[in-house]
Structure 1
Amino acid sequence: MATDVTERTALDSVVVARGVRRVFGEQVVLDGLDLDIAPGEFVALLGRSGSGKSTFLRALGALDPDVEGYLRVPAKQAIVFQDPRLLPWQKVLTNVNIGRPDNARTRAEALDALAEVELESKAKVWPRTLSGGEAQRVALARALVREPQLLLLDEPFGALDALTRIRMHGLLEKLVAKHRPAVLLVTHDVDEAILLADRVIVLTDGVISLSSQVEVPRPRGRDSREFVALRRRLLTELGVGDQPDAR
């Protein structure tokens, strides 16, 4: 029997989720969610507060033992949260290398990762001396030094000011283009999703209610016809309407 399109997609995917369900008490947060993510694909996940975005990311990251359904994810993955979660009693280089063997090779790789995020000069400083943007760049270096097949980003720029967010978007694009992991970005920011992702999906009542390829030419401008049209479509799906700023 010939393999159908759905089966072929699943076989080729880095992430395969089928019938993923998560219930907290009597509240159904994820209700039979299905999703495939291809190798190197950047997917942004939007949804209202409480829609299950972070719950699904935690399921992919094996951080929730009570999730139901079928999940296939790569063993090599890394997660970056809104809080950089740096160890304050360890210097920056050690934070990047945390959880890896401590030897000359891994320290050199960690230093290279810091150079990629333009923080090589901060290798020997304490995390408390870093700005918010710098701390998040260290968190990205810590994730990417592991060369993950899947990079999970849970609103990593949500606590940063607008100018720092713009700089971080450019840096993330550069890093993803170099390392080519599959990426799932959870965000409230519609513009951020369109600027960065290959595909944007909207989570509503625990299931995917919209999935759209981002057919906006790079470099992406917020005033392009394609950007404006997709933004309007996503905001409508989110029930926001075409507001000037929707995060």
Structure 2
Amino acid sequence: MDVVTWNVNSLRARLPRVLEFLETESPDVLLLQETKVEAADFPVDELRAAGYEAVHHSAGRWAGVAILAREGLALADDSAGLPGEVQADEARWVEATVGGIRMCTAYVTNGREVGSAWFDEKLAFFDAMAARVAHLRADGTPVIVGGDLNVTRDDRDVYDVAAFEGETHVTPQERERLETIITDGGLLDAYRLVHPDDQQFTWWDYRQGHFHRGLGLRIDYLLVSEALAGGVRECGILRDFRKGTKPSDHAPLRVRLDLP
């Protein structure tokens, strides 16, 4: 199975690029974040014409998440939102079953400023994620959690640690919660399974040529259940889709795995 996660930073603005990606890369499943569309405006017909069915959790100009599955792979039992998230109307989590795997996609809030109410909301969202994936693990359901989690797992995932001192995305509170999600959910970081020591990034600020200067963060993840981890054949960042006209500030992240 071929699964990709991608924060597209507006599906309407990036729809031609997404359709190009589906045509040229043909993933089985595409997990999207920051779709930024109203529910009534989600491009179901365009995606279906491209050979993909979709479930989505949409709430207008902010956030929004979706799961796309290639025609022939049924999307079943979709569910939106997380018990315990503070701003449930922001549309930051959706899940569905594809090919016997519970696919979950998340767009974690930025947190803005350490110690702020926004930061507390971010920590609460991580806690809600941890509780949900732990529940799925207890049920014995194989899981893939993908998305923009807005946290770096460790200092390898930051282009310059000193530049982020005192900022969000690097704090012990955020990183500890990510580790709890991974540990309690019985998950493994697919990128680190394949690239244990590499420093590569999934997000680059639009400003000051950060992409071309290699000044980024690894904040997008594909976390796979232990039962699936042995089948991981490759996992990589598709940097070419961060290039071109009006790109997203994130590159897609892909995992290819053999199912047990």
Alignment TM-score, normalising by the size of structure 1: 0.33
Q: Which has the larger radius of gyration?
A: 1
RCO higher in structure (CA 8 A, sep ≥6) = 1
